[in-house]
Structure 1
Amino acid sequence: MSYRQYLRPWFSLCFIWCAALQAQTLPPSFTGPLLAPAAQTTPFKHHNLETYLFFTDLSGVYNSYRKVTHTPGNKSYAINPLYSYGLTSFSDIQYSIPYNFNQNQGAFDSGFSDVSVTLGFQVLTQKPNHLLPDLRVTLQTILPSGNYQNLNPNLHFTDATGLGSYQTALNLNFGYLFTLNPSHVVRTRLSLGYTLASPVKVTGYSIYGGSANTVGKIHPGNMLTLDAAAEFNLTEHWVGVMETFISSRSQLTFNGFPGLTDNTFNQLNKGITKALTLAPAIEYNLNQHLGFIAGPWFTLRGKETAQFLSYVVAVNFYW
């Protein structure tokens, strides 16, 4: 699958706006890119609510040789509100409670996915005429609140909404604001993350595979991520965004009784997974309190992972 058709409209739109740029007197506002976490904590006693909608089409699976095997239409629709609150002048807390609607081969189911709580701490703050960036260090706990085992095979995995693992993630979230001229700036973000995943006890069909009589323990593997993004204000209200997200997860292994179905053991053991994705977007920020962002997020390359195209829309409200 070629993704040039998805990128071309976004680049064309950016080009048209850039050609029509006019001088502005007000500082620009930013919603933030689709994926990269903020490099600054939410100010003390302030609130931020950003609600995401994901419309995702899983069209295939990359094998260990990075070749795609196309799969039957598997679609997912998710809503994910992210609420942040400024605890102190240098720390904040964020809650995420996603809900998924899954559709596959005529089957449909829904449910809450894995929720998370994140603590953020401001370590560095960018100052005028200094090279030091903003740096917000976050510690995130992901709780296995989604359904992941004893799945109904007649629902074709649409009843799977979580991973079943307690996960702890440490992220270094850098940000730097470049002033090009009095009217235009570029805001960059770089997030480096590492996630530790606890072992998962599984019975029956699970998000990891298996059969009706599978019993054992899954070691999901730990994950390393890199997220780089840049926002450029095209006008006072419009902002163009380019973002790339790269992930690598260590080998997934299974210990126990895999079940009696042929090839079950191979389903439950997976090599290192890798994914290279892009997420270009367009923002419209009414003011510093209200902003909107939309764009596609899709895989460019992968290994032992899903090929997907997700259309993402988010509304950001700050008070």
Structure 2
Amino acid sequence: MTLGNRAAGMLLVVMLAPAVGAQAHSLEDVRFTGPLLTPSPSTLPQGSFVAQPYWIQTHTSGRYDGKGDRHALDDSVDTSLLSLLLSGGITDRLTGELVLDSARTSQGGQHSGGFRLADSTLRLRYLLREGDALNSKSALAVMLGQSLPTGRHDGLGDNLLNGQGEGAWRSHVSLLGQNYHWLPNGRPLRWRWQARWSPSPRDVSVHGRSVYDTDRSFHGHLSPGAAFSASLGLEYSINANWALALDLSASRQSGAVLDGTALDVEGQREHVRCHDGASRSFSIAPALEYNVSDHLGFLVGVQASLPGGRNSAAYISPQASMTVSF
């Protein structure tokens, strides 16, 4: 064989290698429900729908101060959250989503008056680039979101636990990515990431007792800070039915400013101004996925805060969800 023929043969091998690798793998026996925290960049086909009900039980036992030291709460806080994520394919590249939340909170032998409506969220996700799992081509999408202050945040009267909202019209924009890595045993490891930024929303009107620890006589407003968060989600497909998942997340929010007036001990109205320090938090969320079919899957896991937080809660949060596609 001449040198030229050898070179041509080597070039042919290099050109055919990706195709051979792609043929060696298949997604026929691979199903994922998705990790607990990191959303998918993929969009739904036009006219299709997905419903994802969640049950989340959060036990908050402590709080990290501004220096990162953990302090136990005198009375732990337990919150049961029922969440429903509804997704619909508007076009093949554009998916709309609605998140509805309802929560019940208890602390120190007291509890909220049943399940109370919390804040809701509207989202639009647009697929910028379609991924290719067999050729390790990343999917990329952008997501725009708007929180709706449907939960109550002030005027709480005698029961502060009825406050399940923030009162803010907070917008956010996220960049989402996803790719596959094929392991030597022929099974895929799917990984996805999210980077999310939320500018400071407009001021929130606050009157009376509120989730911001104001008393009955307070009248004023809260200026929330900007927020940034990032997460990484990993999923390993064991077989067509089972998969393991893990999320790592971090978030940071600028401090908020509470400004207004309240009555002093003599009944005179005085100026009140409080500034909360910036907060940050870290968490981990392992989970187990069971996929009955391409249209039905279950996800069970737990999210827990990690050391290193600042002005944030220390918690553990078991979660379970079901995914149904139509």
* Shorter-chain TM band: 0.7 to 0.9
Which residue is 1:317 aligned to? Answer: 324
Give 1:183 deviation, angstroms.
4.1
Does the CA contact (< 8 Å) of 2:249 and 2:284 recur in 1?
Answer: yes
Q: Structure 1 residues 182-191 or 161-170, which shifts more?
A: 182-191
- Count of aligned pairs: 292
Which residue is 2:314 aligned to? Answer: 307
Q: Which has the larger radius of gyration?
A: 2
Does the CA contact (< 8 Å) of 2:154 and 2:208 recur in 1?
Answer: yes
> For residues 230 and 194 of structure 2, what CA distance do their matches in structure 1 show?
6
1:242 equivalent in alignment to 2:249? no
Overall identity of the aligned pairs, in %: 22
- Map 1:276-287 → 2, pairs under 5 A: 276-287=282-293
Give 1:158 deviation, angstroms.
1.1
Q: Structure 1 residues 196-205 or 284-293, which shifts more?
A: 196-205
> For residues 27 and 210 of structure 2, what CA distance do their matches in structure 1 show?
56
SS at match of 1:141: strand
> For residues 198 and 59 of structure 1, what CA distance do their matches in structure 2 show?
31
Which residue is 1:211 aligned to? Answer: 215
Q: 2:45 aligns with which of 37, 40, 43?
A: 43
- Map 1:166-205 → 2, pairs under 5 A: 166-180=169-183, 183-196=186-199, 197-205=201-209
Give 1:198 deviation, angstroms.
2.4
Does the CA contact (< 8 Å) of 1:186 and 1:230 recur in 2?
Answer: yes
Q: 2:280 aligns with which of 271, 274, 282?
A: 274
Give 1:73 deviation, angstroms.
2.1
> For residues 174 and 271 of structure 1, what CA distance do their matches in structure 2 show?
32
Tell me the TM-score normalized by structure 2.
0.85
> For residues 143 and 255 of structure 2, what CA distance do their matches in structure 1 show?
25
CA shift in 2, pair 1:259/1:118, >3 Å: farther
Which residue is 2:22 aligned to? Answer: none
Does the CA contact (< 8 Å) of 1:25 and 1:183 recur in 2?
Answer: no
* RMSD (Å) for aligned C-alpha atoms: 2.0
1:228 equivalent in alignment to 2:232? yes
Query: What are structure 2's unaligned runs of at least 5 residues?
Result: 1-24, 266-270
> For residues 33 and 133 of structure 2, what CA distance do their matches in structure 1 show?
22
Does the CA contact (< 8 Å) of 1:24 and 1:236 recur in 2?
Answer: no
Tell me the TM-score normalized by structure 1.
0.87
Query: What are structure 1's unaligned runs of at least 5 residues?
Result: 1-22
> For residues 206 and 98 of structure 1, what CA distance do their matches in structure 2 show?
19
1:127 equivalent in alignment to 2:129? no
SS at match of 1:150: coil
1:28 equivalent in alignment to 2:21? no
Deviation digits for residues 162-184 of structure 1 (CA, Å, limit 9, x no counterpart): 00000101011111122225741
CA shift in 2, pair 1:308/1:74, >3 Å: same
